[in-house]
Structure 1
Amino acid sequence: MTLPDPLHETIVAVGSILADARDPWWIISGAAAAIHGAQPITVSDVDVMLSIEDAKRLFARIGIAQEPQSNHPRFRSEIFGRWEACPLVAEFMANFVLRDLDGVWRPMLPSTRRAVTIGAITIFVPELQELRGMFQRFGRPKDLTRIKLLDHLS
């Protein structure tokens, strides 16, 4: 797998700071699609889902400020913070929920977890089909484009 240097460096940093996480965590969204091999893809940040407890420990340890809950009409997290110490921003989300197209807020938590080793670091992403389903639920134009890229991999 060949990733652009800024994405590679950010993913390795995320994996390093989460090496001692107690609960499952995942890199999702565009970064996960790139890790699976989707090309060409533009990734502007690295989205990470983790547990509330791990988020609290991580934020305290590396100095991430918890941001106020978003008023976004489709997405929100009980805990959200941005880590800007890498080439790309890493966004950490705990207890992430999505307002589906039927108007109901539902948890967004992967059930699959693929370990990917990059150098000496292990990171985790949802399996390809589950990631595709997440993009379908997100439903934004960029997510629909990412589905087409993932379909070329299966």
Structure 2
Amino acid sequence: MSISPDLATSLTAIGSIMDGATDPWWIIGSAAVALHGADPDSVGDVDVLLSVADARRIFPTIGIELRRGSAHALFRSSIFGRWTETALPVEFMADFYRHSGTAWVPVRPTTRQAVELDGTMVFIPEQAEMETMLAKFGRPKDIERARRLATQAERHSGNRIVFGK
């Protein structure tokens, strides 16, 4: 299994920036699907969940303004930032919620799998949790990505995935 050069470059940059994080953080969405070995169809950006404290500490170091918001009406964050200094844009979301019916539901992964890319670590929810998360997001592209994860023939075992040399 391989990932695109743009995704690898972006993930390595994220891993370097997030190395200073004090709280758990995760790559989610299409990039996580790709890191699990399934075909996400496309990866247009990289989504990162992080704590509010880490966002307040890390955003100023990479020139991101602290603001509320989201890139989509079905999601919101107490702090949202878009970093465009990487090969793929990176969307950082602190205190992240998804809309479900009439309520906003927090998105808080409980599993954390390490992925090594050329010596840099990034973290993703374990496969089953990522499938569930995508299905609950409810958008057609997320449901399709959850299906692709569920039918992924090559399952990764252990706690660590390594890419690169």
TM-score (norm 1): 0.94
Partner of 2:57: 57
TM-score (norm 2): 0.88
Aligned partners of 1:90, 1:4: CA distance in 2, in Å? 15
Kindly indicate whether the alpha-carbon contact (under 8 Å) linking 2:30 and 2:145 is maintained by their aligned counterparts in 1.
yes
Partner of 1:114: 113
Deviation >3 Å, runs of 4+: 70-73
Residue type of the partner of 2:37? Answer: G
Partner of 2:45: 45
Cα deviation for residue 73 of structure 1 reads 3.8
Task: In structure 2, list runs of 5 or more residues that go unmatched.
Answer: 156-165
Task: Note if 1:88 corresponds to 2:66.
Answer: no
Partner of 2:150: 151
Counterpart mapping for 1:3-152 below 5 A: 3-39=3-39, 41-70=41-70, 72-100=72-100, 102-152=101-151
Cα deviation for residue 81 of structure 1 reads 0.3
**Could you say what the CA RMSD is over the residues aligned between the two structures, in angstroms?**
1.5
Aligned partners of 2:71, 2:41: CA distance in 1, in Å? 28
Task: In structure 1, list runs of 5 or more residues that go unmatched.
Answer: none
Stretch of structure 1 that moved more, 33-42 or 2-11: 33-42
Residue by residue over 1:1-44, the C-alpha shift from the partner in whole angstroms, topping out at 9 and shown as x without a partner, is: 41011111001100010011100000000000000011252000
Against the structure 1 CA distance between its residues 2 and 52, is the aligned structure 2 distance closer, same or farther, given a 3 Å change threshold? Answer: same
Q: Secondary structure at the match of 1:47?
A: strand
Aligned partners of 2:98, 2:2: CA distance in 1, in Å? 31
Against the structure 1 CA distance between its residues 129 and 40, is the aligned structure 2 distance closer, same or farther, given a 3 Å change threshold? Answer: closer
Aligned partners of 2:71, 2:32: CA distance in 1, in Å? 25
Overall identity of the aligned pairs, in %: 46
Aligned partners of 1:72, 1:47: CA distance in 2, in Å? 12
Against the structure 1 CA distance between its residues 40 and 135, is the aligned structure 2 distance closer, same or farther, given a 3 Å change threshold? Answer: closer
Against the structure 1 CA distance between its residues 40 and 31, is the aligned structure 2 distance closer, same or farther, given a 3 Å change threshold? Answer: closer
